[in-house]
Amino acid sequence: MIMKKKDSFFVPLIISLSIIVPIAVACLMLFPDFFYINHDSVYLRSLPFFHAVLNGSAAILIFTGYVLIKNKQTKAHKISMLSAFMLSSIFLVSYVVSKISNDPVIFGDVNGDGILSETERLKVGFLRYIYYFILISHIIFSTVILPLALFSIYRGLTGEFIKHKKIVRWTFPIWMYVTVTGVLVYIFMASYY
């Protein structure tokens, strides 16, 4: 089913969400103490694993959607891509809950005290640079993927397939990168949770 085109509503909405969501997440990262909520009665330390599962599942769905559209299976492609977007949206909400509910975890901090000793720095060594490259690029591309994914979905649902294809050339590789590096960030950090 093709949506009726309503650019005057959806384009400003997509642009607004694309600005508000990254600012909100940045505030959570820059001012964690201000937003911190103590949830001692609920165990939320397993959320990073849940996030990795969501990202990994979204990556599989995105790749599946790519294969499906190459084989002209448009209905299955649509289901796969909307499912991937749904999982990514659940990830975003869960990530926000995790950030406001858990103390920050630092790569290489085996003691969990937030301070890296010289020994801890030496143990993580070169891996630290790889981790931060992956993390920083993941964060940068995750801010870019939101408007790309929203516009891709919108153009696909409105039947504007030429515009959809132009946007998806960028959306597909960036979204794949973000979901795969989301899993890699978890793998690097798993021993510190």
Q: What is the DSSP string of 53-82?
A: HHHHHHHHHHHHHHHHHHTT-HHHHHHHHH
**Containing structural domain, residue 150:** 8-33+49-192
Domain assignment of residue 87, yes or no: yes
The token pair that represents 114 in the structure block: 């937030």
Tell me the one-letter amino acid at 181. T
Tell me the one-letter amino acid at 19. I
Are 147 and 15 spatial neighbours (Cβ–Cβ below 8 Å)? yes
Domain assignment of residue 158, yes or no: yes
The token pair that represents 21 in the structure block: 């969501």
Comparing CA positions, the residue from 172, 188, 183 lying closest to residue 84 is 172
Q: What is the DSSP string of 125-168?
A: HHHHHHHHHHHHHHHHHHHHHHHHHHHHHHHHHTT-HHHHHHHH
The alpha carbons of the chain give a radius of gyration, in whole angstroms, of 19
Number of domains in the chain: 1
Residue 47 is predicted with a pLDDT of: 83
Residues in the chain, pLDDT under 70: 1-5, 32-45, 102-123, 192-193
Are 176 and 62 spatial neighbours (Cβ–Cβ below 8 Å)? yes
Residue 93 is predicted with a pLDDT of: 87
Residue 28 is predicted with a pLDDT of: 75
Are 9 and 154 spatial neighbours (Cβ–Cβ below 8 Å)? no
Residue 193 is predicted with a pLDDT of: 67
Domain assignment of residue 2, yes or no: no
Domain assignment of residue 44, yes or no: no
pTM of the model: 0.81
Domain assignment of residue 183, yes or no: yes
Residue 115 is predicted with a pLDDT of: 62
Residue 52 is predicted with a pLDDT of: 95
